[in-house]
Structure 1
């Protein structure tokens, strides 16, 4: 039986339309202000006809076959888990800052001082290297 515009809509119907509106917002068809206005009207809607008016000016969207986003694609360039890439980035940033401080102190003192940043980056780098080489590529998923 086809749904007539006067029939009452369910919460699942409203959730489906909300997902469609989110997708149109993500694709740039409607602004965030328009999205918020339509979402407010969506949860006030009672019938299929009211729900249909919210998306009548938008093309149909198949939520099951959406194009893959860049963030949905697995990281294949480095093969590292994003957390491990972040750990290496933090190590590189901290090492760089320490070397800059060492260089500034060496230049301003007029004497080449002991390269103490090695003690900061060395152990941390060894631990990261061991985790990268012998650790798993993906974190274990919680169930």
Structure 2
């Protein structure tokens, strides 16, 4: 529904207050030196002639929000890219969740048995380290491959 909902909104008719907001953003872009006077005049004329939100949004697509420098825009994009790169793929998140749940269950059962049984118990939960180490190796490998692909 992400793009469908957006295109439906873009087809809605714009109000005078919407046109004025776009004109204010264009004025801020002119003041910051992002638009020439001729570009500003053309865009403001188009803004006041616009009937839909889509026609208004087109006038702003190549402009950052007022007050942001090019360096700030680039820094925000880089930060977003780094956040996306650190995110684990969904499949790995599911596998880590399953491993953690199984490890907790094993530890709880072992703890309950150790507390109630008088004999020495074999510490079987230690074997959960093996799939955990394998999963860690796969995670590191996937992240390294994703890092190389971004370069």
| TM-score, normalised via structure 2 length | 0.40
| TM-score, normalised via structure 1 length | 0.41
More helix by share: 2
